[in-house]
A and B are shown apart, each in its own frame.
Chain A
Amino acid sequence: GAVVSQHPSWVICKSGTSVKIECRSLDFQATTMFWYRQFPKQSLMLMATSNEGSKATYEQGVEKDKFLINHASLTLSTLTVTSAHPEDSSFYICSAEPGQGFYEQYFGPGTRLTVT
């Protein structure tokens, strides 16, 4: 149980284009989903928290117009990197929380984004 998927697992795009990453909770409903960014050999950096049907809450320093988050349903959240630049290249990981006050977060396998 508690499986989270991400698609795509890796993507290469050209500078200036936009990329959408999907995060799905496969066997539970996620009241909250989180998006993280991870640089090589570093820890996870929380980018934003999204609740189904409401606007995402972005962490300080994260540009909401550049990283568009949509939490369309209790099982799907999407992250769109708009007008991507090489510095946006990173490992993006989502997590989902079943809710009910238990706080567990289950992570997806991550998406490796490379912007050329």
Chain B
Amino acid sequence: GENVEQHPSTLSVQEGDSAVIKCTYSDSASNYFPWYKQELGKGPQLIIDIRSNVGEKKDQRIAVTLNKTAKHFSLHITETQPEDSAVYFCAANNNGANNLFFGTGTRLTVIP
């Protein structure tokens, strides 16, 4: 099955700075890579996703890049704000199926 690794486990940045979270995956057949934001006591919220036929996708302050050859993808948040503070999870689907395998999460803290 798929194995997704995520780094770092915790990340603190000053407000206004950028934050980068990286994930690697093991199954070259995976073709869908979403990112979720989870606030304390709430369910994960899909914030951006990318499919294997593109290398980069951007939505306002959030961007995701995908390197299929190296089997890694990254989340980039620019101009961070305190409300960006949360736990972020990357995921990859399982061999083209609809099951998602999640990374271990990154706790992002944006310091005002």
Contact = CB atoms under 8 A, between A and B. Distances in A.
State whether these chains interact. yes
A34 B43 CA distance: 13
Interface of B: 32, 34, 36, 41-46, 49, 89, 93, 98-105
Interface of A: 2, 4, 6, 32, 34, 42-44, 46, 49, 93, 95, 97, 103-110, 112
A25 B100 CA distance: 18
Contact of B43 (A42, A43, A46, A109): A109
B98 A32 contact: yes
Consensus secondary structure, chain A interface: strand
B85 to A, nearest CB: 15
Given A6-B43, A49-B99, A105-B98, 13 more contacts: A32-B98, A34-B99, A42-B105, A43-B89, A43-B105, A44-B102, A46-B99, A49-B98, A103-B98, A105-B34, A105-B100, A107-B43, A107-B44
Tell which of B34, B42, B49, B93 has the most Cβ of chain A within 10 Å: B42
Contact of A110 (B34, B42, B99, B105): B42
Contacts of B45: 107
Nearest to B45: A107
A107 B36 contact: yes
A43 B93 contact: no
Contacts of A2: 46
